[in-house]
Amino acid sequence: MVPTSENGPPPPVYREIAEELREQIRSGRFADGDRLPGENVLMERHGVARATARQALSVLINEGLAVAVRGSGVYVRLFRPVRRHGARRLSRELWGNGRAIWQTDSDDRGYEVDSLRVEEAAARDHVARTLELAEGDPVLVRSRRYLVDGRPVQTAVSHLPLAVVGAEPRFRGHDTGPGGIYARLAERGLAPARFTEEIRVRMPTPEETGALALAPGTPVLEVARTALTAEHRPVEFNAITMDGSAYVLQYDFEA
């Protein structure tokens, strides 16, 4: 399609083998959980050295399409991405009825929250600007990690102006009550009416690689979400970091 892809040297053999396997995964010839041809098979089939066969399989592992199981082989990865449905998951119908936003994301699969930490901090820079606070104004910061099928998939750091959460203890607890913090905001007359999500992608920091147990070469998605009341008052800023291989983000909108 683009000229640059038509010129230049041909791709190395390991790339070609990886591409062939990738196509077989995409087409469904190999399904989730299937064992891919091993190094010996690839060596014989393509007449290549072991290092080349191994490199081809590494490409798929690094892309998150396959996982190596020690002493057994390389398998098409079992994890089904979480479909995160932008607008539907944040509809008032959901949290207004006491359900957790996450119930729409993890489908039939369970999810867990761990590593919750709640603390007060001073708003700085982007957080202060987004929440329309002065530098140093106090915010409540809720940090936590989400796991699906036991696999860490995202971390989220919510910032709420202290003036908004007041002394209500459930903003500070592990269990924020039915419908979560948006239902609690609604009870205080500060129901979110609009959301803005900004999406960026980049390679992870070493800390993120650890927290999300990322495979080598896995990018992260940053979702920066701001919740606003009907009067356009920002009541929450949430900095979400997702394992890029674990998510499909979906947004539906009108023309």
**Rule CB under 8 A: which residues touch a second copy?**
1-5, 8, 11, 15, 19, 27, 62-64, 81, 86-87, 90-92, 115, 117, 125, 143-145, 152, 155, 157, 182, 191-203, 205-207, 210-211, 213, 217, 219, 221, 227, 244-245, 247-255
Q: How far apart are CA 185 and CA 175, in angstroms?
A: 15
Give, for 157, the enclosing helix (H) or strand (E).
strand 151-161
Nearest distance from C-beta of residue 26 to a second copy, angstroms: 8
By C-beta, is 44 or 251 nearer to a second copy? 251
- Rounded to an integer, what distance in angstroms lies between the CA atom of residue 179 and that of residue 158? 16
Among 120, 29, 89, 25, which residue's Cα sits nearest to residue 223?
89
- Among residues 194, 251, 245, which one has the least CA distance to residue 82? 245
- In eight-state DSSP terms, residue 169 is G
Q: Which two tokens stand for residue 117?
A: 């930490």
Strand partners, 120: 140
User: What 8-state DSSP symbol labels residue 161?
Assistant: E
Identity of the residue, 40 or 96, whose beta carbon is nearer to a second copy in the bound complex: 96
Minimum separation from the CB atom of position 192 to a second copy (A) = 5
Output 106 or 218, the one with its CB closest to a second copy.
Answer: 218
Measured from the CB atom, is 92 or 233 closer to a second copy?
92
> 177: which DSSP letter?
-
Decide whether 68 or 157 has the Cβ nearer to a second copy: 157
Least separation in angstroms between CB 66 and a second copy: 13
Question: At closest approach, how far in Å is the CB of 69 from a second copy?
Answer: 22
Please report which helix (H) or strand (E) contains residue 229, including its range.
Answer: strand 220-229
Q: Which residue has the tokens 């209500």?
A: 168
* Six token digits for residue 225: 């979400």
Closest contact distance (angstroms) between CB of 2 and a second copy is 4
- Whichever of 44 and 132 has its CB closer to a second copy, that residue is 132
